[in-house]
A and B are shown apart, each in its own frame.
Chain A
Amino acid sequence: MPQSLPDNINQTLMQRLNPAYLRLDATMKVTQTSSNLSEYGFADITEGVDATEHIDFLVGVDPAQALSLPVVASPNGHPVCIELLPEQGDLNVIIADAREQFDLQQKLQQKANENQLLLEKQRTLLGELHAAKAELARRNTELEEASRLQSSFLSGVSHEFRTPLTSILGHNDLLRKSLAAETRPKSDKKQIYTDAVRRASQHLLSLVENLLDHGKLDAGEITINPRPVQLSTLQNDLEMLLRPLADAKQIDLLMQRQYPVDESVYIDESRVRQCLINLAGNAIKFTDKGSVTISMAHKDDELQLRILDTGIGIKKEDLAKIRQPFWQVADTGKAGTGLGLSITERIIELMGGEMTIQSEYGRGTEVSFSLNAPATDASINLDQAREAAFKDQVSILLTEDDLDIAQLVVILLEEANAKVTHVENGELALQALQRDSFDLVLMDLNMPIMGGYETIRRMRDDGNHTPVVIMTASALEADMHKAQALGCDGYLLKPVEVADIVAIADQIIVPLE
């Protein structure tokens, strides 16, 4: 370090500290003073005076002990630092300007005080935040509980309503059936009354179903299960269902179709149907003249659905509100829960679509939504049957009393290269087996006149060893054992797939040489 630097530092420090000096003897009498002592308010200090009488901080000081007094007030109020330095029985007293240090200390202290205040404030705010969070959590829990209770209540009440309603509908249908079978005078209005009961009950039931769906949507219990659906079938069904409603109001129901006649797509048929019935039902409800159009278009795996009506329309200020659950347009005189549209929109969203509503008050409304709907084959069952087909044609005796099942299985098996003879009970099966020979017998168990087990027993007793495969809806272990004991060759549980029949038949049919 160059010599000039310490000198400069020394000079700077001396200027800033402006040290004053006095020397005291052992009796604390002043023996020497610096000229700048008066700058610190020590004007009375002259040589020979007793320093302890004029300078407070020297009272009681041991002149033989060195001592530092950081920042004390001088007589004129300046903050000063005091250094007491004993030297050969005397005491040197150095008084230095401490305003900078004092200011710094003051600032630091102020900062510390401010920090302390901020800390206190922070603690208070944190406390309030914790309290608010706890309150929020408590309210959330209360809200969740209230929502759960509401859903539970709605579901409970809906279920309780549905049970007797179903019973009313069931018994009313029985009554209608028995009335239809009677010969009654034209003036007899019983049929009209039962029709009215049915309509009212069905309306109530649909309201209850809406409430149940609302609860299920809240609980996330509704799932979407796409399956192959033929669009023309879906639209025909809708027309069949909605036509009477439109006719009753003397309005036109128009169907627009923009897809190949045998187009099939993957969608959740029941949910799409539910949405369309809801929307088209609303359209019919709020249209008193003109028409309701249901438009269905399928292009590039997208199904575009549109319900257009010439009804009363929706006021601009009501457009957003109608999507809210339980909200209903006032003064329309139309009954409902106010849930249909909300449920429909939520189901459409669950299916990945978005519902759009455009309406002009007094002119009509258009509701539309699009769904991802990949195209599939028109007759998937038949394709499966074709794929699983028997290599060589086989003759099959189908013994099944349920015509719903029998007719379907016959078509599917014929598509799979089988020649099928169908009989409705075991007795007829035995007769058929006496007349013709078959490669395979498909046997239902539970049939009138003669059941499956009895038929198989008699077949075997008669020496007929045509392979038999049981088809039943019962998975009970006892049935399996019984079937095996009787010498059955296979056992299929309904619903059966043609591929299963072909697979099992391939294993057990011995080709004739």
Chain B
Amino acid sequence: MSDRSSQIELLQQRYRTSLIEKSVEIAELRIQYESTDDDESAALASQTLGDFLHKLAGSAGMYGYTEIAISARNIMMTLQNDDSGQLSAQLDQLIAMCEQASDGTST
């Protein structure tokens, strides 16, 4: 196996492991988003959550976690449309997908 192959394998392993941390971070950002009580902090929390999802959508896709990437993109759209009813269920699903992908039971 070439050095680059080993490097890629290492990156893939590291990314998979990082998905559990990402799921925790999503949960944390979600709490911040849901607990805001004024427009200004709501907009900031939405922006922070959106930025995180944006990054996740990009990186998950690069590492082959297509479902996570699609889910993150969909939630970005939901955030933009301010559809809080749908957002909660979507975030639950994304958190679960990250956890499953991290422990290897799903992608």
Residues of chain A at the chain B interface (Cβ within 8 Å)? 162-163, 166-167, 169-171, 173-174, 177, 205, 209, 225, 227, 230, 233, 237, 241, 261-262, 269-270, 273-274, 277, 378-379, 381-382, 402, 404-405, 407-409, 411, 414-415, 444, 446, 471-475, 494-496
Contact = CB atoms under 8 A, between A and B. Distances in A.
B20 to A, nearest CB: 8
B8 A473 contact: no
Interface string B21-50: 001101110010000000000000000000
A379 B92 CA distance: 34
Contact of A163 (B8, B57, B92): B92
Contacts of B57: 473-474, 494
Contact of A174 (B27, B95, B96): B27
Q: Chain B CB within 10 Å — which of A166, A169, A241 has the most?
A: A166
Given A277-B105, A473-B58, A233 B2 contact: no
A402 B64 contact: no
B8 A382 contact: yes
Contacts of B54: 446, 473-474
30 contacts: A166-B27, A166-B95, A166-B96, A170-B23, A170-B24, A171-B27, A174-B24, A209-B100, A209-B105, A230-B9, A233-B13, A262-B1, A269-B107, A270-B101, A270-B104, A274-B105, A379-B4, A404-B15, A404-B59, A404-B62, A404-B63, A411-B11, A472-B58, A473-B54, A473-B55, A473-B58, A473-B72, A494-B57, A495-B61, A496-B62
Interface string B3-21: 0110111011111001000
A501 to B, nearest CB: 12
A142 to B, nearest CB: 31
B43 to A, nearest CB: 16
B55 A402 contact: yes
A356 B54 CA distance: 45
Contacts of A472: 58
Contacts of A170: 23-24, 26-28, 95
Contact of B61 (A163, A409, A473): A473
Contacts of B95: 166, 170
Given A382-B2, A494-B57, A166 B92 contact: yes
Interface bracket on B? 35 or more
Contacts of A205: 99
A273 B27 contact: no
Nearest to B22: A404
Contacts of B23: 166, 170
* SS of B interface (majority): helix
A163 B7 CA distance: 36
B86 interface: no
A473 B73 contact: yes
Q: Chain A CB within 10 Å — which of B8, B15, B105, B107 has the most?
A: B8
For the complex of A and B, the 8 pairs showing the least CB-CB separation, nearest first, are A170-B27, A495-B61, A473-B58, A494-B58, A473-B57, A379-B5, A273-B104, A262-B1
Interface string B59-92: 1011110000100110010000000000000001
A281 to B, nearest CB: 11
Given A173-B24, A237-B104, A404-B14, 16 more contacts: A169-B99, A171-B27, A174-B24, A269-B104, A270-B104, A274-B104, A378-B5, A382-B8, A404-B15, A404-B62, A405-B59, A408-B11, A473-B57, A473-B73, A494-B59, A494-B62
Nearest to A496: B62
Contacts of A171: 27, 31
B45 to A, nearest CB: 16
Q: Chain B CB within 10 Å — which of A270, A404, A405 has the most?
A: A404
Contacts of B106: 270, 274
Q: Chain B CB within 10 Å — which of A174, A495, A496 has the most?
A: A495
Nearest to A166: B95
Nearest to A474: B54
A177 to B, nearest CB: 8
A417 B86 CA distance: 45
B59 A402 contact: yes
B11 A379 contact: no
A226 B2 CA distance: 24
B34 to A, nearest CB: 11
Given A166-B92, A378-B1, A408-B63, A270 B107 contact: yes
Contacts of B59: 402, 404-405, 494
A322 to B, nearest CB: 21
Contacts of B24: 170, 173-174, 177
Contacts of B72: 473
Given A174-B28, A261-B1, A446 B51 contact: yes
A246 B92 CA distance: 31
A477 to B, nearest CB: 12
B1 A379 contact: yes
